[in-house]
Homo-oligomer: A and B are copies of this chain.
Amino acid sequence: MYRDIMCGRISSSNEGKKINLAGWVSKRRDHGQLIFIDLRDKSGIMQIVFNPEVSQSTHNKSKELRSEWVISVSGTVKRRIEGAENPDIETGNYELIVDSMEILSKSKTPPFEISDTNEVSEEIRLKYRFLDLRRDSMQKKMSLRHKVTKFIWENLSLKGFTHIETPILIKSTPEGARDYVVPSRIKNGSFYALPQSPQQMKQMLMVSGCDRYFQIARCFRDEDLRSDRQPEHTQLDLEMSFVHQEDVMEAVESLYIDLIKDVDNKIVVDSVFEKLSYAESMDRFGTDKPDLRFEMELKNLTDIAKNINSNVITNSLASGGVLKGFVAKNSNGYGRKDFDRLTEIVKTQGAGGLIYISLAENIDGPINLEDSSGPLNKFYTQENLNDILLKTNAKSGDVIFMIIGEDKIVNSSLSFLRNHIAEEKNIIDKNIMKFVWITDFPLFEKDAENNWQAAHHVFSSPKSDDIEYLEKDPGQVKADLFDLVCNGVELGSGSIRIHERKLQEKVFDVIGYSKEEVNSLFGHLLDAFEYGVPPHGGMGLGLDRLVAMLSREESIREVIAFPKTQTASDLLFGSPDFISTDQLEELSINIIEEEE
């Protein structure tokens, strides 16, 4: 080994001892005769000192050293002189007096300094990921990811789960997104697909009697990339036999609570997760991914709206519109410009406009019409205002934000606005992870062509009371489906699965699969269902997202060693790339050149 101990591990026990260290030259200071270098490795930093009185030749050599050179040194650990300690680093009381050095590798001047205080564009960071990863914050995120995964292994093992690896080269069975495919060299014209999730395989494992399965599973989706998707992501995938919905939720809930306590005890997390039905969540927050770290619940004001004498309102209500709104506390500081800005924001979500009532500050007692201002001002009466105040519980100094229109648009626009305002008013405690289970999802939803599609996926079991509606009113059917949401972000989705061939076929019927399609895409699973299948259910949970959240990072790219860009390319290794014509020939495929 080129070292006896890592740089960041030097402590009093090493004092006076001769040791070897190795690492990167991080910083260099020339103090007249003495040359000081911060030597960095994964564990931290140790100050090393080149003194010509200790070794003239080594001191001479040390003058060559530049940032990011890799060296190994031998020397004696000394306590720093009083006043020279550095309390910012673990080893700040010590320095190594170097007597010999080997230069292991030189470095060109890096395109950016290896430091956490340095702002570098993401493109440069990804292109030079090998330098970016040297930063302490990136190493910490990699370590955190390791810790999280290790904790999952331990916790689920204790709960009787078995980690089982399922294949990456599988059969193409479109599950919502596009499959990545892999041409087979052996079977002309045929392809493997990369799994979007191990869904069918884990269900097959339940038919196989595996009882409790989990996997840290790589999943692949060839999507038109949204801002924070990756062509490949990692999922904590799990499945359980002989369970009801509550059993799956309990297994995951206790895992996440214990996990967070283990990896970061500064994070505040409930000891019991909240539960909201899909309908209630939509009603109170306008979304099935509510951020519950703050209030600002939506209130339905449609009944009050009926009494307001405004053409806009009357017309909207007549065509089935609703009026909903929420209160932003102590927001009297919002001025005309802010309201215009916020109006533009809700318009991006499809809303026609934003109605607001701003209530004057410092009013004791009842709020009168003239204490309120806003675009609706001239249309509502004192009685209307009283109704609104009563329903929303708005007080002096608050602003009531309201949107009228189609239910769906009102919900999504208000939900967006609610998050935006909480963010810009800085009322969110970043140390809280506020989990909520969203349950009782509808099994189906209409797609753009007005056909029924599975709201989550085709294997979810309808609630037993709703099976009767499967044929006559699919929209009515709720499922044993549940999402885990944290701070407004979906962390995972689960369900109890259908375990009867006939019921599964009925669901395929509603979606409009032909018998041939069913047979080709799902036949293997349906056939297996004929040999004794336990009731089962499970979840798929995004691991990248969880680690990003624990790292207080917005983007999952921050917690992936070598992520891809939004155009699905790797700026460091240069994938995807062209392959040789020999390779193409062996695979019996031709490229159709794009037209200019």
Contacts from A to B (Cβ < 8 Å): 1-3, 6, 22-25, 40-43, 68-70, 72, 104-108, 110, 128-134, 139, 142-143, 145-146, 149-150, 153-154, 157, 162-172, 178-194, 200-201, 204-205, 207-212, 218, 220, 222, 231-232, 234, 242-244, 247, 499-500, 520, 523-524, 528-535, 560-562, 564, 567-570, 572-579, 583, 585-594
Q: A331 to chain B: closest CB distance in Å?
A: 44
For the complex, what is the distance from the CA of A564 to the CA of B204, rounded to whole Å? 16
Q: Name the distance in Å between A183's Cβ and chain B's nearest Cβ.
A: 7
Instruction: Verify B575–A193 contact, CB threshold 8 A.
Output: yes
Contacts of A150 in B (CB 8 A): 153-154, 157, 163
Q: What are the residues of chain B within 8 A of A167 when measuring CB–CB? A: 232, 562, 564, 570, 575
Residue pair B133, A573 in contact (C-beta under 8 Å): no
Given contacts A190-B577, A532-B69, contact A166 B588 (CB under 8 A): no
In the assembled complex, the Cα of A570 lies from the Cα of B204 at a distance in Å of 14
Residue of B nearest to A21 (CB): B242
In this complex, what residue of B is CB-closest to A219? B168
User: Could you pull out 23 A-B pairs where Cβ atoms are within 8 angstroms?
Assistant: A1-B243, A2-B243, A105-B535, A107-B530, A108-B530, A110-B531, A146-B162, A165-B234, A168-B220, A169-B564, A170-B570, A171-B577, A172-B575, A180-B182, A181-B583, A181-B587, A189-B578, A189-B591, A190-B578, A191-B576, A191-B578, A201-B561, A218-B218
* A590/B587 in contact, CB under 8 A: no
Q: State the oligomeric state as a number of copies.
A: 2
Q: Taking the nearest CB of chain B, how far is it from the CB of A587, in angstroms?
A: 7
- Nearest B residue to A2, CB-CB: B242
A574 to B524, CA, bound (A): 8
- Check B170–A575 contact: CB distance below 8 A: yes
**Contact in complex: A591, B589 (CB < 8 Å):** yes
Contact for A532 among B43, B70, B535, B594, CB less than 8 A: B70
Q: A132 — nearest CB in chain B belongs to which residue?
A: B208
A211 cross-chain contacts in B, Cβ below 8 A: 6, 41-43
Q: Give the contacting residue for A210; candidates B133, B179, B592; CB below 8 A.
A: B133
Could you say which of B6, B171, B561, B569 contacts A166, with CB atoms under 8 Å apart?
B561
- Residues of B close to A149: CB separation below 8 A: 163
A234 to B168, CA, bound (A): 11
Top 6 nearest A-B pairs (CB, nearest first) are A133-B208, A107-B532, A171-B575, A68-B532, A42-B211, A184-B576
